[in-house]
């Protein structure tokens, strides 16, 4: 490349595009890892229903799957349903807050 040239060569442009593609794929993978796992969204749904039952003073029901009976939250915060810890309002096996 001569010192007096103006502009960019095709090779330089391709190198920059390859570098940008690599950086884009790495940042996309990093952002993908920030996605909320389904278990966390289920716990958030259950927690929201429990808080609403306590705040409004009326029972609330949540259907987690068509094959399971609904989980019912009472105004005192207790949970009634298959696989639920009654006093904590969280599924069996989940860590207590």
Same domain, 49 and 79: yes
Per-residue model confidence (pLDDT) at position 42: 79
Same domain, 47 and 69: yes
Considering the chain, what is the average pLDDT of its residues?
Answer: 81
Closest Cα partner for 75 from 59, 62, 51? 59
Q: Quote the pTM value.
A: 0.52
Same domain, 18 and 52: no
Same domain, 12 and 30: yes
Whether the per-residue pLDDT at 25 is higher than 70: the answer is: yes
Could you tell me the two tokens for 51? Answer: 């808080």
Per-residue model confidence (pLDDT) at position 96: 59
């Amino acid at each position: 490349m001569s010192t007096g040239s103006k502009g960019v060569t095709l090779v330089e442009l391709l190198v920059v595009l390859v570098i940008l593609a690599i950086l884009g794929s790495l940042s996309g993978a990093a952002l993908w890892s920030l996605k909320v796992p389904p278990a966390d969204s289920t716990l958030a749904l259950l927690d929201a229903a429990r808080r609403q039952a306590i705040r409004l003073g009326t029972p609330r029901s949540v259907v987690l799957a068509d094959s399971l009976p609904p989980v019912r939250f009472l105004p005192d915060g207790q949970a009634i349903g298959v696989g639920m810890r009654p006093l904590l309002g969280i599924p069996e096996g989940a860590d207590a807050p």
